[in-house]
A = this chain, B = another copy of it.
Amino acid sequence: MVIVMQPGASEERVQAVIERLVEKGFDVHRSTGVERTVLGAIGSKNGVDFRDFELLEGVQEVIRITEPYKLAGRTFQKENSQIKAGGVVIGGPEVVLMAGPCSVESRTQIKTIAKLVKEAGAKVLRGGAFKPRTSPYSFQGLGEEGLKYLREAADAFGLLTVSEIMDRMDIPIAIRYIDIIQIGARNMQNFTLLRELGNLNKPILLKRGMAATIDELLMAAEYVMSGGNRQVILCERGIRTFENATRNTLDISAIPVVKKKSHLPIIADPSHGTGLRDHVAPMARAAVAAGADGLLIEVHPEPDKALSDGAQSLYPEQFTGLVRELRIVAEAIGRKI
């Protein structure tokens, strides 16, 4: 923590601040300039709230020195983490495609899609069974039955599965069917759930909350990792801004920023990020060009008949065409699909 005193703050006030810092267990380094005094406080313990110092007399500004995320940050692990699931590596040279419908709707539907996305180049099959819906009157997913269909379809075509759970009570069911457990944006700070995931030995796909800063996303990952499970994949899926031409604003710059701050892999979800099919392909290309380690894309054989999010699902042939473009983009930065 660094404390900047007001210009002309009396010696008495400076001393009062120093005493308080010492009391809280800090080592204090004082810099006295012509105009003002700056105090560096090192060795902070958790539980100190920097705002307490902001309220002391004579203090102009208090600056928190961000604690490195001990486990999620790059400080103590320089090299990229590679998360392995089945034979697939996320965070390595390959850009991993995860694709499938928003919701698993039937055994036939998910099987049809599994075949399509496999042929196009996907490695992981997505499909929702527990759906977080804004309205209580919307389709809420098939639950365990949906997960069974998802698993069957994935196995039939040699794919992995990724699917969302919404509550820690869903975990026992989930681990029987899901290879990569997805935590949705609305649950990114469901700390009770995050703690439970820390006890698993499964990759977790952690989506950024709509109002979450990148630092908060990394702190949410830290929750999982501090429990022992280091297999966290981050996912940018759009933040909420004043612009409403798109459902959310897909924050592509989060990709290079995360790469600099953390060793964890980060993928992007251009389907939820834009909310409209027309914009999915450009944003998918943009994410790969910016360095994303993978993509999560909604594809549906008949988007017009989808029970949820059909408008943002690609037609199968659109997905195939997109993968062709993505291969070239990936090459431009020395990666492959």
Contacts and interface: CB of A to CB of B under 8 A. Distances in A.
Interface of A: 2, 4, 6-8, 27, 29-31, 33-36, 38, 40, 42-43, 46-47, 49, 51-52, 54-55, 60-61, 63, 65-66, 68, 75-76, 132-139, 166-169, 186-187, 189-195, 209-211, 213-216, 219, 222-223, 226, 239-246, 249-257, 260-261, 273-279, 282-283, 285-291, 303-304, 306-312, 325-326, 328-329, 331-333
Nearest to A276: B51
Contact of A31 (B42, B138, B254, B256): B42
Contacts of A42: 31, 33-36, 38
Number of copies: 4
Contact of A290 (B167, B275, B286): B286
Nearest to A223: B136
9 contacts: A51-B311, A52-B303, A52-B311, A214-B245, A252-B283, A253-B273, A256-B283, A257-B279, A325-B332
Contacts of A210: 211
A286 B75 contact: no
A46 B137 contact: yes
Contacts of A329: 285, 289, 328-329, 332
Contact of A213 (B243, B283, B306): B243
Contact of A38 (B40, B135, B277): B40
